[in-house]
Structure 1
Amino acid sequence: MILEAQGLARAFGGLRAVDGVDFALRAGEIHALIGPNGAGKTTFVSLLSGRQRADAGTIRFDGADITRLPAHDRVARGIAYTFQITSIYAGLDVFANLALAVQRQRGADLAADVRAAAARVGLQDHLATRAGELSYGHQRLLEVGMGLALQPRLLILDEPTQGLAAAEIAGFIALIRSLVPATTVLLIEHNMEVVMDLAQRITVLNFGKVLATGSPEEIRANPAVQAAYLGTPDA
């Protein structure tokens, strides 16, 4: 396992957003995290990435305890979270945004590395465009491109297809498939067609707890998941 969480918990006042979650992520897999709104998904991945501190529990990455490490140290170990690490700078162009990420892993030619990162997410024709002028879908692709530029071992994506057109979603699916097994991918996603097409395993959260984990087929057939989230097969 590349990442393991045991008894992970986080509360906000009286609300237990994450309530004693045990979770294991296999190296080289695409793993989806799904559940109703308010199930604790974003809080959970924020704990994994270091964006928020856990109230209880432990997180191990590649065998090392990272529970108390700050986010930047987790990035250095190979964890990238798009909503935290790759926030775009609206006043800078696409090239500059990508360069900020690329320079952390810089090779001999920064410009060439930036162009390669842009091409990977289909933004090679937008390098001179201010990030704030991109469509929302292209801004999401820029976030993904910045995350990939960090060359992470674990890439966490929070709603990556939101705002993408159908053709862009197809390209995104192809891109994510190309990352494994060198990169492990954990994604929160509400588009169930994307989840069922991409994920090798799925974990369902509900009220801050793990409701089920399994293959797409197992999750689709699980009565508890149907009742809480997916609806009945005939619905």
Structure 2
Amino acid sequence: MNALLETRGLSRDFGGLRAVDRVDFSLMPGEIRAIIGPNGAGKTTFVSLVCGRIEPSAGTIVFDGADITALPAHRRVRLGIAYTFQITSVYAQLSVFDNVALAVQRTLADGRSQGRLRAGVMEALERVGLADRAWLPAGQLAYGHQRLLEVAMGLALKPRLMVLDEPTQGLGDSEIENFIALAREIAASATVLLIEHNMDVVMQLAHRITVLEAGRVLAEGSPDVIRTDEAVQRAYLGGGA
């Protein structure tokens, strides 16, 4: 089986700082992959490169066999890459329904089918547990629910790759359990790339874990391998953020 996503020598410099440093990375279809590491390790910069929000300084990005390094973010969305932000980016004045509708419209060929539009929106909201809040202004949602709204907006795009940046931030314990179930459900039809600081979530969900430190891949492997890796213990799991 060929990789869905690959990066080769991917790097990003900000002035004199190299935030991502020659990262080779491979993600298989249907996989749930977690990226972990200390603060400042380059995690969000790496997924921002994958999604086209920033341009690489060097290296290539290949999605489903095609070089997408130069493609803008909106073209990558059309290819099936959906991304939820580390900081919520919902439209606070619009209703929860209308936020998701903006995403659903991208998947409708003519953009005019109201029945299909409504069905697509409500399906996404039901999956994240927000259907009963559909007509609230998005800005009135609790922070954790705004994160779930972003997930619904991503799901509405019918993605092949779902990139989630700190999705459980602001969620309560019961909501985290629901998110874990949701992520497994998403993985039945899409590949999931997850940045997450909650190690319980990471260890429960991830098939494989990639550990970044100072913009480089420090270690990669199954949860059991990562849990017992001495270098990872020193840099992150046992040593702090």
TM-score for the superposition, normalised by structure 2: 0.93
Q: What amino acid sits opposite 1:35 in the alignment?
A: G
Q: Gapped runs of 5+ residues in structure 2?
A: none
Q: What amino acid sits opposite 1:56 in the alignment?
A: A
Report the Cα distance in structure 1 between the residues aligned to 2:225 and 2:201, rounded to whole angstroms: 16
Per the alignment, residue 184 of structure 2 pairs with: 177
Shift of 1:87: 2.8
Report the Cα distance in structure 2 between the residues aligned to 1:113 and 1:188, rounded to whole angstroms: 26
Shift of 1:104: 1.3
Is the partner of 1:125 in helix, strand or coil? Answer: helix
Work out the percentage of aligned pairs sharing the same amino acid.
67
Q: CA RMSD in A?
A: 1.3
Report the Cα distance in structure 2 between the residues aligned to 1:12 and 1:105, rounded to whole angstroms: 35
Structure 1 moving runs of 4+ over 6 Å: none
Matched, 1:223 2:230: yes
Per the alignment, residue 13 of structure 1 pairs with: 15
Q: Please list, as runs of the form range in 1=range in 2, the aligned pairs for 1:1-235 lying within 5 A after superposition.
A: 1-83=3-85, 87-106=89-108, 108-231=115-238
Shift of 1:59: 0.5
- Matched-pair contact (CA < 8 Å) for 1:29–1:181: no
| Cα displacement string for residues 147-182 of structure 1 (whole angstroms, at most 9, x for unaligned residues) | 010000000000000000111101100011012242
Report the Cα distance in structure 2 between the residues aligned to 1:181 and 1:148, rounded to whole angstroms: 13
Which range moves more in the overlay, 103-112 or 125-134? Answer: 103-112
TM-score for the superposition, normalised by structure 1: 0.96
Report the Cα distance in structure 2 between the residues aligned to 1:187 and 1:114, rounded to whole angstroms: 23
Report the Cα distance in structure 1 between the residues aligned to 2:48 and 2:119, rounded to whole angstroms: 32
Is the partner of 1:109 in helix, strand or coil? Answer: helix
Shift of 1:189: 0.1
Is the partner of 2:167 in helix, strand or coil? Answer: coil
Aligned residues: 231
Report the Cα distance in structure 1 between the residues aligned to 2:219 and 2:98, rounded to whole angstroms: 42
| Cα displacement string for residues 123-145 of structure 1 (whole angstroms, at most 9, x for unaligned residues) | 01101110001000100000000
Report the Cα distance in structure 2 between the residues aligned to 1:110 and 1:70, rounded to whole angstroms: 26
Is the partner of 1:51 in helix, strand or coil? Answer: coil
Report the Cα distance in structure 2 between the residues aligned to 1:103 and 1:68, rounded to whole angstroms: 25
